[in-house]
Structure 1
Amino acid sequence: MQGPFNRSGKSKPMAEINVVPFIDIMLVLLVVFMITAPMLTQGVQVELPQVTSQPIDIQEDNDPIIISVDSDGGYFITLGEDSTSVSLDEMSSRVTTIIERRPGTPVMVRGDRNVAYGQIVVLMSTLQGAGVANVGLLSEPSKDG
């Protein structure tokens, strides 16, 4: 009698691995990630100005503080995945607390292109008063190159 089991008590080891279940799991995970990836966009919807510039290198272990100003003039603080709406006075105390806990945390400003320049200057002055030495301005790459 042939096969992995015979009556003589000697069993023949099976040298094949069934990979079909692994392929099924991989395809299910692929579909799940394809569906959830577009939903992972986070933060406040702002229309950034488009310019040509060099990207800033950010260390992997140090998430930046992103302060957004939407088209209505509202302020939002984003740290990691948490985004909260704040007033200008409250922002100063929150940024000071974060900088004291994690010195060297980069601070970035995302301003909608329709926000008045004066409002961004007031925001940057407030950040300077909170102890932030350097502020980065975020933009989107230019579409025409």
Structure 2
Amino acid sequence: MPGVAARGRGRRTINEINMVPFIDVMLVLLIIFMVTAPLITPSLIDLPSVGKANRTPDQKVEVVIGKDESLVLRSGDKSSPMAMQALAQAVLASQAGKPPGTVAVVISADRSVKYETVVRVMDTLQRAGVQRVGLSVQLAR
């Protein structure tokens, strides 16, 4: 029921918001959040660790992604610059005629290259049906 103010002759309703209950509720919520915030543990991401392969590949094809996102395909002693569109066909050609799983594809990228570029290269190779694609890593010293 709204408050009623009596002034002289007539009664008039007070149409102001009572802020005291609102402030009480906000203070209670603030205290609840302050108490529960330290109890919430941040979610941890369980990343895979670098291990050793069961069997080293007989041959290796390396896709090098430079700082300027240029692609170079290294196969044996040969090294040739490559466009993204021709990359999958060149890798499949280097794997052709050999038993499946004997030619591994290793992607080496500069540290400053965007993650999106590395994923785009992996996706291009995967869509073309290239098997045994891995990432080159440098072990911490």
TM class, shorter-length? 0.5 to 0.7
Checking the alignment, whether the CA contact within 8 Å between 2:104 and 2:131 is kept in structure 1 is no
Checking the alignment, whether the CA contact within 8 Å between 1:69 and 1:76 is kept in structure 2 is yes
Q: Matches of 1:70 and 1:136 in 2, distance apart?
A: 17
Q: Which runs of 4+ in 1 moved over 3 A?
A: none
Q: CA deviation at 1:96?
A: 1.5
Counterpart position of 2:129: 131
The structure with the greater share of residues assigned to strand is: 2
Q: CA deviation at 1:64?
A: 0.8
> Which of these residues, 63, 67, 71, is aligned with residue 67 of structure 1?
63
- How high is the sequence identity, in percent, across the aligned residues? 24
Residues paired across the two proteins, number: 90
Tell me the amino acid that sits aligned with residue 110 of structure 1. S
Q: CA deviation at 1:55?
A: 3.1
Secondary structure of the equivalent of 1:83? strand
Secondary structure of the equivalent of 2:79? strand
The alignment yields a C-alpha RMSD, in angstroms, of 1.5
Secondary structure of the equivalent of 1:64? strand
Q: Matches of 1:126 and 1:100 in 2, distance apart?
A: 17
TM-score for both structures, normalised by structure 1: 0.57
1:86-97 matches, cutoff 5 A: 86-97=82-93
Answering whether residue 113 of structure 2 is matched by residue 115 of structure 1, we say yes
Which digits, 9 at most, give the CA deviation of each residue in 1:40-77, with x for residues without a partner?
Answer: xxxxxxxxxxxx72233414xx2111111011101011
Q: Matches of 1:120 and 1:86 in 2, distance apart?
A: 15
> Which of these residues, 52, 55, 62, is aligned with residue 52 of structure 2?
55
The structure whose Rg is larger is 2
Answering whether residue 72 of structure 2 is matched by residue 76 of structure 1, we say yes
TM-score for both structures, normalised by structure 2: 0.58
Runs of at least 5 residues in structure 2 that lack an aligned partner in the other structure = 1-48
User: Structure with the greater relative contact order (CA < 8 A, sep ≥ 6): 1 or 2?
Assistant: 1
Runs of at least 5 residues in structure 1 that lack an aligned partner in the other structure = 1-51
Q: CA deviation at 1:101?
A: 2.3
